[in-house]
Amino acid sequence: MTTIEHTDGAPAPTADAGGEGESPWMRRLPWISGPVMLLVLLGGWQFAVSVVGVSEFILPAPGAVAGALGTLLASEDIWGHVGITLFEVLAGFGIALVVGVAVGAVLGRIAWLQRAVQPALVALQVVPKVAFVPIFVIWFGFGPTSKIIMAALLAFFPIMLNVMLGVRSVDRGHRDVMRGLGAGRWATFRNMELPTTLPYVFTGAEVAIVFSVIGAIVGEYLGGSEGLGFLVVSSLNALDAPRLFAVIVLLAVLGSLLYVAVTTVKKLVIPWHDSVRTGV
């Protein structure tokens, strides 16, 4: 296979690439399998409640959850809770993206520094992040700040590790060729290092946005008075199972929309990469 390089360093599409050869059936498969799996899930759920006899206190029927979801969406304060959680998630993700890219780029370029801080990074990474919530509450109170920091902490490591791997994946020989051609540091970064590292940044971001949602919800769950995590706690305390499931559905929709937003930006920024062209 012959690979043609763009002037910006990105590999040009080739006729035998995976995305070009993908059949129409494969491209349509997610749009078919998604609704089918949803119908199977709802059918099995209704079967468990209606036929098997699982108590609706433990597993409310899909109809009851849909009714609770409609009531929740019709209430005046639900969008305030959604807005609080969305703000915490996006703020935490933004902080993690900036700090993670900066730290990953530095550690990827400076081997001795990466070796020096590796024990501290490993120790911080293996500690269950939930254990930090009480500390953040003591330091920053019950407001959004403690949740934002929790979301940023969970999202930081996937981004930082992927960026560090991306920076290291730049071939040293290619750097030497760029220097031999007289390219400066900025030209080398723009034409070679940036296109090589961006796919790794987006890979980390796709994982990190999900972790940001988890971090914000955990923070609200353990110490907050607003947001969707707080609604989970209040529904549990009221033993309102349909409302609890309805809030979980809202969280699933919110997380899915944020994930789609990140993948959409990825498709716009790096349309030439195999992960975009093949959808894998």
Q: Are 179 and 240 in contact (CB under 8 A)?
A: no
Q: Where are the domains of the chain?
A: 83-269
Dihedral of alpha carbons 212, 218, 224, 225, sign: positive
Three-class DSSP labels, 231-251: HHHHHHHCCCHHHHHHHHHHH
Tracing tokens 């988890």 back to the chain, one arrives at 214
SS3 per residue for 12-66? CCCCCCCCCCCCHHHHHHHHHHHHHHHHHHHHHHHHHHHHHCCCCCCCCCHHHHH
The pLDDT, as a whole number, for residue 10 is 43
Is residue 269 within 8 Å of residue 202, measured between CB atoms? yes
CA distance 213 to 219: 10
Can you tell me the distance from the alpha carbon of 23 to that of 238, in angstroms, rounded to the nearest whole number? Answer: 51
Domain spanning 83-269: which superfamily? MetI-like (1.10.3720.10)
Residue 69: what are its φ and ψ, rounded to 5°?
-65, -40
Do the beta carbons of residue 91 and residue 215 sit within 8 Å? Answer: no
Measured distance between the N- and C-terminal CA atoms of the chain, rounded to whole angstroms: 21
* β-pair partners for 5: 11
pLDDT digits (tens, 9 = 90+) for 154-198: 999 999 999 988 888 877 777 778 777 877 777 777 778 788 889
Spatial separation of the C-alpha atoms in residues 127 and 170, rounded to whole Å? 31
**Could you tell me the pLDDT band of residue 137, with boundaries at 50, 70 and 90?**
confident
Over residues 45-96, the pLDDT tens digits come to 888 888 888 887 888 888 899 999 999 899 888 889 999 999 999 999 999 9
CA 229 to chain centre: 18
pTM of the model: 0.81
